[in-house]
Amino acid sequence: MKKIAAILSLAFVMVISAACSGNTTTSDKAKTNGEWKPEKAIEITAPSGAGGGWDTTARMAAKVLNETKIINQSIGVVNKPGGGGAVGWAYIHSKKADPQRLFVTSPPMLLVPLNGQSQYDYEDFTPIANIIADYAAFAVKADAKWNNLNELFADMKKDPSSITIVGASSPGSMDHIQFVKIAKAAGVDITKLKYVSDQDGGGLTQILNGSADVYSTGVAETVEQVKAGKIKVLGVTSEERLKGDVLSDFPTAKEQGIDATFVNWRGFFGPPDMDKNALAYYEKKLKELSDSAEWAEIRQKYGWDEMYMDSAEYKDFLKKENNEIKTLLEELGLAK
C-alpha cells in the first residue's frame, strides 16, 4: 500500500507541475523562444483624415496583410488628423511600448518637427520598415505658356515672386519643400518664392481658375486631370520615368538637366520603446508584404515605387534626410 501511495503521490506532483508549466502565457513562450506574435487586434494610425497617402497606404497594407494571411491577427485603421500629422504622433507617443500600435508616416515626420509644429520627431518613435516611394509632380493649366521645368524656372530666375506655387501642405512642409528642392537645384532664389497653402484641397481649382500658376502635389493626384486635358505636368521628382498609363509620359527633373530628386518615402513606425522581438516580427511581415504580388498590384495602381528598407537602413536614411531638409528650412528661415 505504501508503494502505491508513493506512486500516486509522485503522479499528483507531476500533474501539478505540468499544470503550472501550462499556465505560461503564449506571449511568455514566444519571448522565451525569441519570437513574438500579436495576441490581439493591431491598430494602424493614419495621422490624417480619410483619403491621401497615409490613409491609403495604411488601409491598403492592412487589406493585403490580412487577405494574404501574412498576418493572421485582425488589423484596423484609425484616423487622427490635425497639425500636419502632429496630433496622430502625440496619440501614438502616448501608447509607449504598445506593440499592437503602428502608424504610417512620410517626410512630414521630419518637416513638421523641424519647423516647430510638433514636439515629437522621428527619433521619438521606432522606425520599423519603409515600403514605398511616391514622388512629386509640378503641374500647370493645360494652356499655360510653360511646357517644361526649364521654361518655368527661367521665368522664376528673373522674378521668383511673380509666379505663385500652390500646395496642400503648410509652408515648410512637403508640397512646399519638394518644389523648393528642385527649384534650388535649377538656380532659383528660393528665399523669394511665393508659395500659398490650400489645406482644403483647392490647389487644383486655383490652377484652373488662374489664382495660382503651379500646383505642387503628388504624382497620383495629377493623372485624372491630365487625362481630362485640364492640366499638364512639367516634371516629376523621381530618379527615372515612372511606369504606367499616363505616368510614363511625365518627364523627370533630372532628364531636364536639373540634378535633384525628391522622394516621398512612406513606411511604418511603432511607438517609443517597442520590444525588439515585436520589431523583428513586423519587420519580417512588412518585407513579405513588400515582396508580394498583391502589393505589387497596389503599387502599380497608385503609381508607387518599391522602396523597402529594414529598421537599421531606415534609421540611417532618416538621419541623412533630416539633415538635408533642415538645411533647406534654415535657408528659408523656417527652421525652429
Q: Which domains does the chain have, with CATH numbers?
A: 42-133+264-332 (3.40.190.150), 135-263 (3.40.190.10)
Q: Place 302 in a pLDDT band, splitting at 50, 70 and 90.
A: confident
CB 58 within 8 A of CB 266: no
What percent of the chain has a predicted confidence (pLDDT) above 70? Answer: 90
Q: Report the pLDDT value the prediction gives residue 12, as an integer from 0 to 100.
A: 42
Average pLDDT of the residues in 271-278: 96
Q: Report the pLDDT value the prediction gives residue 33, as an integer from 0 to 100.
A: 57
Q: Report the pLDDT value the prediction gives residue 34, as an integer from 0 to 100.
A: 64
Whole-number Cα distances in Å, 85 to 54, 55, 102: 10, 12, 14
Average per-residue pLDDT for the chain:
90
User: From CA 225, how far away is CA 231, in angstroms rounded?
Assistant: 6
Residue 15 in this model has a pLDDT that exceeds 70? no
Q: What is the pLDDT of residues 316-325, one digit of tens each?
A: 999 999 999 9
Q: What is the pLDDT of residues 114-142, one digit of tens each?
A: 999 999 999 999 999 999 999 999 999 99
What percent of the chain has a predicted confidence (pLDDT) above 90? Answer: 81
Residue 6 in this model has a pLDDT that exceeds 80? no
Q: What is the pLDDT of residues 177-228, one digit of tens each?
A: 999 999 999 999 999 999 999 877 789 999 999 999 999 999 988 999 999 9
User: From CA 94, how far away is CA 38, in angstroms rounded?
Assistant: 19
Q: 125 in helix, strand or coil?
A: coil
CA 196 to chain CA centroid, Å, is 23
Residue 41 in this model has a pLDDT that exceeds 70? yes
What's the farthest any 2 CA atoms get from each other in the chain?
Answer: 108
Cell numbers 522602396 correspond to 307
Residue 35 in this model has a pLDDT that exceeds 90? no
Average pLDDT of the residues in 64-74: 97
Q: What is the pLDDT of residues 147-156, one digit of tens each?
A: 999 999 999 9
Residue 95 in this model has a pLDDT that exceeds 60? yes
CB 87 within 8 A of CB 47: yes
Q: Report the pLDDT value the prediction gives residue 130, as an integer from 0 to 100.
A: 98
